[in-house]
Amino acid sequence: MFVLVRSCLFVIVLISLTACGGGGSGGGTVEDATALVKSPEATKLYYQSLAESSYIGKSDPARLDASSLVKFMDYLFDPEDNQVDVISSGAELNSPGQYDNLPEVRSFSTQTRQLLLLGPVSESRQTSSSEAAKAVTASQTVNETYSCAGGGYVRYLGNLTNSGTGVLEVSYHACVRNNGLVINGKGHQSIESDVTNRLTLYYDAVTFSDENGGATLSGYITTENPGPTSNTREIYFLTVTDFESGEQLAYRNFIIDSDSVGEINFSGEMMIDTLGSIAVNSNGLVLDQTVGYQGGEVEFASEASSGKVAFYGDRKVGIYLDEDNDDSYEKVLGLNDGFNAVFSGDIAPEDLNWNQELNFPPVFETVGITSDGSGSTLDTWSAEVGSIVDYDGDDITILEYRWYVNDELMQASISHQFPPYKAAFGDTISLEVVATDGKSTTTSQKVTVSVGDAPFIVEIGEFPEIVEAGQTISFPARVTDPDNIAGPYPAVLISPPEGMAIDSDGILNWTVPEPAFGDISRFRLKIETIDGVRIQVEKTIVVQGSASAKTIVAGDIVVPIRNHSLFVGNFDQIPGNEVLTSDSAGHLMLIKEEEGNYKPSWMYPYGMSDLGIINQTALYDNDLDGSPEIYMATAHSVVYMAKPADIARTVKDYGSYIPKAIEVGDFNSSGTPQIAVIYSESRSSDSNCYLEIIDAHTGNRLFHTSIGERATEVVAGNLDDDENLEIAINNGWVFDGRSYETQWEYTEGFGDYIALGNIEDGASDEIVGANRDTGVAAFSLIKKQKLWDLDRASNCSVLVANIDADSLEEIILGDCESSSITAYDTGTGVPLVDWQYSSIGQRVYSLVLGDIDNDGDSELLWGTGKTESTPNQLVVAEVNGNTHVEISQNTTQMDRLVGNGWASVGGKEKAVFTASPIVDDTKGPRFVQLDHSGSFSVSGEFSPDQSIGYRGIIVDSDSNGDSELLVTSHDANYGGLTLLDLNDYGSIWSSEVEENFFARLIRTADINGDDHPDALYANINKIKAVDIYHRSELSIEIDPVAYIADFYVTDITGDSVKEFLIATTEDVEVWESVDGHYQKTSSLGLSCRKIVPVNVDADPLMEIGCVTGNIIFGPSKLTIYDLSSTGWYELIGKDYDQAIVGISSVPDYPGAIAIGAQYYDRDLIHFHSNVFIDSLITGETLWSSPSIAGRTDSTFFKFRSAAEADGGPRLMMGAYNTMYLFQ
């Protein structure tokens, strides 16, 4: 028997016009049609009454309980797969007006045990070609019969308009569908619109049956815009009655709206004969045809009770029941897998675990384990938790991470990380994560990874960064296996300093020797493992020599481009004040006044510890001796220098972060200083800035906070009425110096540049902020407000200081576009111009007030220039009423200094350098003479048309003991040499000029045997010679085919005849004089960028040092080649990670070679250079200069023997705008 178990609204199979089968045949007349075929409205009213009269069950409001609520839901939703199929019970007319193209019927899946049997059906009316050819007329008559798929037929009678609309009578005569369903009875079909495709199917007790039973349908279903890609509306007014049981289900004005993206909404009345009537409304239903409803809810309501079903995604459903309609759900049921358990009949609804509160436990989507390395015991392991979903919207908290090693619980905590060394090679690490939503707890599935084999590591004991000559140091340096499978072993030293060794127990021992040159040496110490992986640990150790050795450092005046970076005070503990300044790059110096002139008195000779630039300088007198200590924010560190002669030591390294500004003071009145540091993630951006307060001695963090964007300056002062200092940031933050609490956050910011001062004659200071482009303003922390605005653009520096006779401080502003200075008086409460005047140079940087000339009165100082066309200039102004006297220095900048050699000038030894303005090709060189005391003189500038170039060499052309300077031509198109008198730089002699011969290299050697040096100079493919003594050109023809990179003249073959050793881009060639003419006699078959003759073995013959690799960025390789009877062969080779820009033999150090190297800082912004001496016999590094800021070239350093020096300097170097002499 076919029993009506339940009716699923969305899957009712409704067929109308046709049944599958053969072609139709004419039959009957239009008069045979029912009288109802008048209009859609009349037809609809008739079938509404038919549906109502056929329903005899309960129609009063239903009382909902657990069982009845689930039963109503059962008639709306598919119990098998929780998938709702929307009926498309009609379809569009393909060609309106042609009655032979009638609507297609579609039906959708359900289950055979349901009221209506399943089976996709697509039936269309079959027409003959003659019928299809009938013309469209005003009234189309339909009288058609069609065979059904399994027997019987269906008949259509009626009229359609020429647009295809109208009402047809439909009768089913034992019509058997292809799924076995038998249909009998009659009804109508109303085609109401050819625009919206509005179609209504009417049933007049139409029966649907099969061998299991059947049901009767009375009423109608209207469909608009059917189809999967359109917005569809369906209206149900229908009664369904079971054949056998008489059980009934009814829908009254039940509307279903669905769109093409899966959103469904429906509303209306639904009745079950044994339960009564219920109102149904949906809200935000979203249907995925694959997994079911993913959101929204359906409400069921009557006068007595109500309920709803809510969809949470992933087949999770909540059922709510309010049995007394008090707006509170007494029963709540959460189903994790749809309705299957309830609708299957295995569990009765009233027997389920109904609760008072719905909860779905959290669900982990993904959990993984990652490491910060290669996956060994050295790594920190981290839990990677993807999305955790809570389908009813509760907040999720992770309770703990459970870490297992070999399935044994090792750590259960809130930390998402598992530390190193807890698991070794071959172990497994597993992870479970426990999360809660406050009501339920969920544990993730366990994930597992295997621990890989860790490489050997180098373990170094307490490493001294600075040592003194004569000191013996000893500390462990061992190679260990983190997995404890092998070792430990002694580590391996790579190019160690002379005398340093590691014994068999892995103890590094070194008795520190005196620096070979100067009073300091700096070694890059490399220690590596022995397993072939070459994992290196690189350390830097600085050796301080005895006081008798001396390093002379001198250079041009530099000024900063940052505010708060010029200071006046006594720094060197010698009576009298100095100016402490930096170039906001790599140089720090003191400038002293001497008889009205301002000259550098000291210059920090080394690169900073992080090889970076100096962002800002700050002072604090720790020991209250009147000489303040110096603190600097460098590229990635904060460093400290007790006095100018000291080495800068790192207070704190900020890793990849950039310290941009600092202030030092005893902010919290503890008796020890603290440092306020502003740092950010990027040098070029001021976003994501942080403030950190650290202990100035230890670097330990005392306070830290994020301060947003545009934080570039920090100052400290008394801004309120308590005894503590306040810390002010230019972007609007003010913090208490003791508690670090925020005292003010002025969101608009104070300005690009800020200064503090007493401009209101109160007990505390105010903040003055200047924006570069938009104006100046004053702020009061006590009042928490802006005091006034000043409409003034183009501000580059601001200072608040008392420069007149009253008690109030003035505001002094420096211009950005010009170099004007303006002082404002604020005694009236608003800023009024006190005085103004134009200065020299361009722009005004870092205004400061101090007594620089030690006359008892303060001067106003600032920096200017700092552009490609203007040099660094220090400006000093005597301020007395409206009288202002300015003093400036160095109108031409010494941008790059190259060593030419030692000279005897007027019986005094001088180191001679060429200063070339690399930022301006229209300017010529100047020449600098530096003596052993550090004093230097600078020549006037040679104009480009004077044919005086930048490449020079010191000669004594007439062997009279007085030196000259031989320089190449400045003009790239006309090459020649000029001999200059070093007493007055007058021209002694000039060689003939050759067109298109630009001399790039210059050497001296006696090649004509007259015991006087001859000058040899080369362009890219030719070498020329000049007899300097006789002032004549020597006839030689040396013209290699390839580009000349370097050359020397030496006796390379041991036959007492000098040969030319020439490095080209293709080969290294040896040229000898044969019968008075030079010709190539041998070659190495190598492309060397630099060469040098050097003797590194026991025989007296010279070898060739050859540099290959990248000579700008590195790495490079130095190879020594020797000559045998069979040709040249490699004697020694060594790799360097730096770029080798120059090489030289070293007098008094047989078997050693000096290497000039350059390298970038860690930000790849600034070059640094140094010279080191390697013994190619022992592999030790004998000496290494400190790091020097600036890029250099192959001639930037020159050595001489101890005998030649006679107690004076033996090494000279020039780099950027700094000169060095080392004894």
Q: What are 262-280's pLDDT values in tens digits? A: 788 889 999 999 999 999 9
Highest-pLDDT range among 186-195, 820-829, 965-974: 820-829
Does the pLDDT value for residue 3 go beyond 50?
Answer: no
Which pLDDT band holds residue 27 (cuts at 50, 70, 90)?
very low
| 369: pLDDT strictly greater than 90 | yes
Phi then psi for residue 66, to 5 deg, are -60, -40
Angle at 1217 between CA 1213 and CA 1221, to 5 degrees: 30
1037 or 300, higher pLDDT: 300
Question: Is residue 1138 very low, low, confident or very high in pLDDT (cuts 50, 70, 90)?
Answer: confident
What fold does the segment set 761-838 form as a domain?
A: Lipocalin (2.40.128)
852-865 mean pLDDT = 88
More confident residue, 1147 or 526: 1147
The reported pLDDT for the residue numbered 38 is 58
Of 1034, 527, 361, which is closest to residue 1025 (Cα–Cα)? 1034
Query: Using one digit for the tens of pLDDT, what is the confidence trace for 308-341?
Result: 988 887 778 888 999 999 988 888 888 776 655 5
pLDDT value for 85? 28
pLDDT higher than threshold 70 for residue 130 = no
Residue 766 has pLDDT above 70, yes or no: yes
CA dihedral 727, 730, 734, 738 (to 10 degrees): -20
Detail the DSSP E strand segments found in 1039-1083.
1044-1050, 1059-1064, 1068-1074, 1077-1083
Give the burial string for 408-434 (b: 16+ CB within 10 Å, else e): eeeeeeeebebebebbbbeeebbbbbb
Predicted pLDDT at 714: 97
At 289, is the pLDDT very low, low, confident or very high (cuts 50, 70, 90)? low
The domain segmentation of the chain, as residue ranges, is 45-78+108-336, 363-451, 467-544, 552-603+846-891, 606-749, 761-838, 1089-1222
Question: In which band, very low, low, confident or very high, does the pLDDT at 113 lie, cut at 50, 70 and 90?
Answer: very low
Query: In the structure, what pLDDT confidence band is assigned to residue 697 with cuts at 50, 70 and 90?
Result: very high
Q: Evaluate if pTM is beyond 0.85.
A: no
- What does the pLDDT read at residue 17? 32
CATH of 467-544, one of 2.60.40, 3.40.50, 1.10.10, 3.90.1580: 2.60.40
Q: Note the pLDDT of residue 507.
A: 93
Which of 645-649, 718-722, 794-798, 1163-1167 comes out lowest in average pLDDT? 1163-1167
Is residue 132 over pLDDT 50?
no
Residue 743 has pLDDT above 70, yes or no: yes
Tens-place pLDDT, residues 388-400:
988 888 899 999 9
Work out the pLDDT band at 96, boundaries 50, 70, 90.
Answer: very low
> Mean pLDDT over residues 494-499, rounded?
84
Q: What is the pLDDT of residue 145?
A: 87
For residue 1192, pLDDT over 80 is answered with no
pLDDT of residue 735: 97
CA distance 356 to 332: 5
Between 609 and 591, the more confident residue is: 591
In sequence order, the 6+-apart residues with CB closer than 8 A to the CB of 921 are none
Averaged pLDDT for residues 113-133: 29
Distance from C-alpha of 328 to C-alpha of 305, rounded to nearest angstrom: 11
The CATH H-level (homologous superfamily) assignment of domain 606-749 is: YVTN repeat-like/Quinoprotein amine dehydrogenase (2.130.10.10)
Which band of pLDDT confidence, cut at 50, 70 and 90, is reported for residue 143? confident
Q: Which CATH superfamily is domain 363-451 in?
A: Immunoglobulins (2.60.40.10)
Residue 994's pLDDT is what? 78
Q: Mean pLDDT check: name the lowest of 245-254, 497-506, 718-727, 858-867.
A: 858-867
Query: What percent of the chain lies above the pLDDT cut of 90?
Result: 32
363-451 matches 606-749 in fold? no
**What average pLDDT does the structure give for the chain?**
81
Tokens of 125: 């009316």
> Is the pLDDT reported for residue 424 higher than 90?
yes
| pLDDT for res 133 | 30
Which has the closest alpha carbon to 393: 334, 321, 352?
Answer: 334
Single-letter amino acid code for the residue at 678: I
How many Cβ atoms are within 10 Å of 1207's Cβ, its own excluded? 8
Tell me how far apart the alpha carbons of residues 525 and 475 are, in angstroms, rounded to a whole number.
Answer: 14
- CA gyration radius, the chain: 48
Greater pLDDT, 625 or 1064: 1064
Tell me the mean pLDDT in the region 446-453.
95
Q: Does residue 65 surpass a pLDDT of 60? A: yes
Segment 794-806, tens digit of pLDDT: 899 999 998 877 7
Helices (H), 353-493: none
